[in-house]
Structure 1
Amino acid sequence: MASSQSVNVLRYSALVTGLIYGLYHQSSLNTQAKHAEIDREYKRKESLIEQAKTEWKKKTMPPETKSGSTGIITDPEDSRFDLEAYLKLKAGDTAK
């Protein structure tokens, strides 16, 4: 009888140890999944912010001017229109 009692103790000890390990392992898997989800959400928000920054730069970038790379605004309706610079540009174009 003594040997059957020790076998039962070993069986139940192994069962309890397995249950405890299973709970611990499931907990660690859940924690990893939560961290992975947080990382994915962070990267998604980061990409949305980058996309918003590029769209904002496109929106606030000054419109292309007709004069090309001179940087002089030739649209008289624009609030940054400089008549003197525009006239100098036109005078330089006619002299060529």
Structure 2
Amino acid sequence: MASTQGVNVLRYSALVAGLFYGVFHQSSLNSQTKRTEIEHEYARKERLIEQAKAEWKKKTTPQEPKTQTSGLITDPEDPKFDLEAFLQAKAAESQ
């Protein structure tokens, strides 16, 4: 009879140890998954910030005036635009 009690104690001890190990292992897997998700979200936000910075830089940097190879400014919105020089260049192109 004493040996059956010892076997039962051993069985239930193994069962309880297995349950504790399972809970601990599941907890570590969940925390690892959460940590990975947080890292992915952080990397996504970093990419978005870098894209926003690049777009802002592109938007705020002054653009080069539109010029041809001769140095003629063809953009009428440019303060250095010379209508007479532009018309002479167009007349020369058409001839």
- C-alpha displacement at 1:10, in angstroms? 0.1
User: Residue 6 of structure 1 aligns with which residue?
Assistant: 6
User: Residue 57 of structure 1 aligns with which residue?
Assistant: 57
CA displacement 1:20-49 (0-9 Å, x = unmatched): 010001001101111111000000000000
Distance in 1 between the 2:54 and 2:34 partners? Answer: 30
**SS of the residue aligned with 2:13?**
helix
TM-score, length-normalised on structure 2? 0.70
Stretches of 4+ aligned residues off by more than 6 angstroms = none
Which ranges in structure 1 are unaligned for 5 or more consecutive residues? Answer: 87-96
Distance in 2 between the 1:14 and 1:49 partners? Answer: 52
User: Are 1:27 and 2:13 matched, yes or no?
Assistant: no
TM-score, length-normalised on structure 1? 0.70
- C-alpha displacement at 1:13, in angstroms? 0.1
- C-alpha displacement at 1:59, in angstroms? 1.1
**SS of the residue aligned with 1:64?**
coil
Equivalent position amino acid for 1:20 in 2? F
- C-alpha displacement at 1:67, in angstroms? 5.1
Equivalent position amino acid for 2:15 in 1? L
Once the two structures are aligned, what percentage of the paired residues are identical? 70
